[in-house]
Chains A and B, each alone.
Chain A
């Protein structure tokens, strides 16, 4: 009897086909950005992990794939799609520290961008990174716009029919604390 599952390899052709897979269904209803409770800033949001299904990826990847988003005080909001227990397949970053060149040859200093695996430019066998900046990624966009652009660029479908909004901050009227 095999002690381990047979090895699985993500072929570059399969990866590119997955990028174009439409729709990539996100389970559990429309995505929602929620306030990240451990930070006070208005831009401190998170995206709770959701299962993503795929008909194209090998089952080892497809069965454990999820999307999630987290906050970093110095770099803003980041989104990733990864199989549980393995490295990311896609990421989106609200900022970038240092200059970079996008896949269409443009040069940016600090700009929202997506990370894809680059099987054509490997580093010692491992896939490199290519950075994609579609037109929807304007400089200084908020987390909701980043998520919206990410979902639309990679054909993720969460069943929504309206725009993703930043979470509303409920404010207390000041001066009433002693009565509460």
Chain B
């Protein structure tokens, strides 16, 4: 190393070390800010709690959740490998450091939490889509994780995600779809959307949602169909009657207590 190289090296080392700062934050924790930037151009920080935990404060998964890619993250095939490689452990909503004995382990953790959201492409809501199916899934997920009293103690998030996923079933050469995956294998849950479409579109959409349960019932008379809808009164009378006749239960999300009804429909036999 010549003199010029040594000077530059020392300058880099000094700027990195001087760029690390700490300051007090809520709950008696301290924030450690680094000179590095994360996936959105903001300073990478971590938090040290008063009981000595090193954590991201839940920020990384909250970002992934708000980007509307949480399901992609949960089923990301590299998730376990990534967590191991970057010294991360998930404790419910936060990403904590796994081993903090070595400086390299801390640096790997910092790199991991700052890079993670960039692996997923955000799915922002736009004018082109009907948001109700996503809203219904979000409501169900929230109710299962936070309100449903008999949720499992171990990994309730994964359990809830499995219940709100769509399910397909092969039947004599055709495929039947349910918009969610209730524990009761003979139950089908259909989300009725298109509330802001024209009357003819609503009518057509609702009729199409009833076709799969009808076909499945031919093969299995035990099948029951639950419908999740925001407000049934905004659909044509003919569609309302048809839904009332074909569905075993209609859950209207406009009603108080409907969230828990959705959770029970998913989690109970």
User: Out of B58, B145, B260, which one reaches A73, CB within 8 Å?
Assistant: B58
Determine if B122 and A38 form an interchain contact, defined as CB atoms under 8 angstroms apart. Answer: no
User: Out of A50, A72, A180, which one reaches B58, CB within 8 Å?
Assistant: A72
Complex Cα gap A8–B66 (Å): 27
| Residues of B close to A35: CB separation below 8 A | 142, 146
Let me know if B194 is at the binding interface, CB within 8 A.
no
Complex Cα gap A123–B188 (Å): 58
Let me know if B248 is at the binding interface, CB within 8 A.
no
**Main secondary structure on chain B at its contact with chain A?**
mixed
| Residues of A close to B21: CB separation below 8 A | 98
Let me know if A21 is at the binding interface, CB within 8 A.
no
Q: Nearest-CB distance from A127 to chain B (Å)?
A: 10
Known contacts A39-B58, A71-B62, A75-B31; A180/B264 CB under 8 A: yes
Q: Nearest-CB distance from B151 to chain A (Å)?
A: 11
| Residues of B close to A69: CB separation below 8 A | 66
Determine if B59 and A91 form an interchain contact, defined as CB atoms under 8 angstroms apart. Answer: no
Using CB atoms, name the residue of chain B closest to A46: B66
Complex Cα gap A95–B59 (Å): 14
Determine if B146 and A51 form an interchain contact, defined as CB atoms under 8 angstroms apart. Answer: no
Let me know if A105 is at the binding interface, CB within 8 A.
no
Complex Cα gap A88–B142 (Å): 29
Band of interface residues on B: 35 or more
Q: Nearest-CB distance from A54 to chain B (Å)?
A: 14
Q: Nearest-CB distance from B60 to chain A (Å)?
A: 9
Determine if B62 and A38 form an interchain contact, defined as CB atoms under 8 angstroms apart. Answer: yes
Contact with A along B104-129 (1 / 0, CB 8 A): 00000000000000000111111101
Known contacts A28-B127, A172-B260; A49/B62 CB under 8 A: no
Determine if A74 and B29 form an interchain contact, defined as CB atoms under 8 angstroms apart. Answer: yes
Let me know if A68 is at the binding interface, CB within 8 A.
yes
Determine if B147 and A28 form an interchain contact, defined as CB atoms under 8 angstroms apart. Answer: no
Using CB atoms, name the residue of chain A closest to B92: A38
- Taking each of B25, B27, B150, which has the highest tally of chain A beta carbons within 10 Å of its own beta carbon? B25
| Residues of A close to B47: CB separation below 8 A | 73-74
Using CB atoms, name the residue of chain A closest to B61: A38
* Sample of 19 more A-B contacts, CB < 8 Å, known A172-B147, A180-B264: A27-B124, A35-B142, A37-B141, A38-B145, A44-B58, A48-B125, A67-B124, A68-B66, A71-B59, A71-B62, A73-B27, A73-B94, A75-B25, A75-B31, A82-B40, A87-B41, A97-B25, A97-B33, A172-B149
| Chain A interface residues toward B at CB < 8 A | 27-29, 34-40, 44, 46-51, 66-76, 78, 80, 82, 84, 86-88, 91, 95, 97-98, 170, 172, 177, 180
